């Protein structure tokens, strides 16, 4: 039979009473969790009250702006470009014919310039090709065996 000492007896009694060190720690953690839950509830209720105040102030501002709109009878600056449905309206230029003529003239000028530049680039490419020397070839000391064998034979070019 295992020996029962005073120390083991005290530990068993503490466990039965719930006063052991492990149970004390467990009870302390549970108490902390309850406190944290209560703090979270109070914080949530404070934030909810603050949110309600913000919404009330926002509604008040909206009502004031609607009253101002009704009094002035005009739309906001941001609504000038929008129709009744909220879509953007198309803007027409003041003088569409003059703008088209100017655009066509600039397009013609630019295309002519591009054509001239393309011709100049082609000419420069041709000049460059004639002026450049061919790249240097690697010098070979010994001729390959295949070439040595075929030097003595009559060559036929197959195309």
> 121-156: per-residue pLDDT in tens?
888 887 766 666 666 777 766 666 666 666 655 656
Q: Which of 62-71, 80-89, 101-110 has the lowest mean pLDDT?
A: 80-89
Same domain assignment for residues 2 and 56: yes
Average pLDDT of the chain to the nearest whole number: 78
Q: Which domain, by its residues, includes 114?
A: 96-132
Same domain assignment for residues 60 and 102: no
Are the beta carbons of 101 and 107 closer than 8 angstroms?
no
Same domain assignment for residues 13 and 45: yes
In a domain, 145, yes or no: no
Same domain assignment for residues 72 and 126: no
Same domain assignment for residues 2 and 72: yes
Find all residues with CB under 8 Å of 135, minimum gap 6, and list them.
Answer: none
In a domain, 50, yes or no: yes
Top-confidence residue, 101 or 148? 101
What does pTM read for this prediction? 0.32
In a domain, 147, yes or no: no
Find all residues with CB under 8 Å of 99, minimum gap 6, and list them.
Answer: 93
Predicted pLDDT of residue 150: 60
Same domain assignment for residues 116 and 53: no
In a domain, 15, yes or no: yes
- Cross-strand partners of 88: 82
In a domain, 8, yes or no: yes
Length of the chain: 159
- For residues 67-72, give the mean pLDDT: 73
| Residue 83 pLDDT > 60 | yes
Same domain assignment for residues 40 and 107: no
Same domain assignment for residues 49 and 103: no
Top-confidence residue, 10 or 74? 10
d(CA 114, CA 108): 10
In a domain, 151, yes or no: no
Are the beta carbons of 43 and 49 closer than 8 angstroms?
no
Kindly report, residue by residue over 52-69, the tens digit of the pLDDT. Answer: 999 999 999 988 888 877
Predicted pLDDT of residue 44: 93
Top-confidence residue, 130 or 35? 35
Predicted pLDDT of residue 114: 94
In a domain, 20, yes or no: yes
d(CA 145, CA 72): 101
Same domain assignment for residues 2 and 71: yes
Same domain assignment for residues 103 and 72: no
| Angle CA 40–46–49, to nearest 5 | 140
In a domain, 52, yes or no: yes
Top-confidence residue, 158 or 14? 14
- Return the DSSP state at 82: B
Phi, psi angle pair for 36, to nearest 5°: -65, -40
Same domain assignment for residues 54 and 110: no
């Amino acid at each position: 039979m295992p020996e029962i000492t005073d120390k083991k007896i005290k530990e068993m009694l503490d466990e039965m009473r719930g006063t052991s060190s492990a149970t004390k720690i467990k009870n302390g953690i549970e108490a902390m969790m309850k406190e944290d839950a209560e703090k979270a509830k109070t914080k949530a209720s404070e934030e909810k009250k603050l949110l309600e105040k913000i919404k009330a102030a926002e509604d008040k501002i909206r009502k004031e702006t609607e009253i101002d709109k009704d009094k002035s009878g005009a739309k906001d600056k941001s609504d000038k470009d929008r129709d009744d449905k909220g879509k953007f309206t198309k803007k027409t230029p003041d003088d569409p014919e003059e703008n088209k003529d100017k655009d066509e003239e600039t397009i013609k000028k630019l295309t002519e310039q591009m054509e001239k530049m393309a011709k100049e680039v082609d000419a420069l490419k041709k000049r460059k090709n004639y002026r450049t020397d061919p790249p240097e070839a690697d010098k070979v000391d010994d001729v390959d065996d295949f070439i040595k064998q075929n030097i003595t034979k009559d060559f036929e070019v197959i195309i």
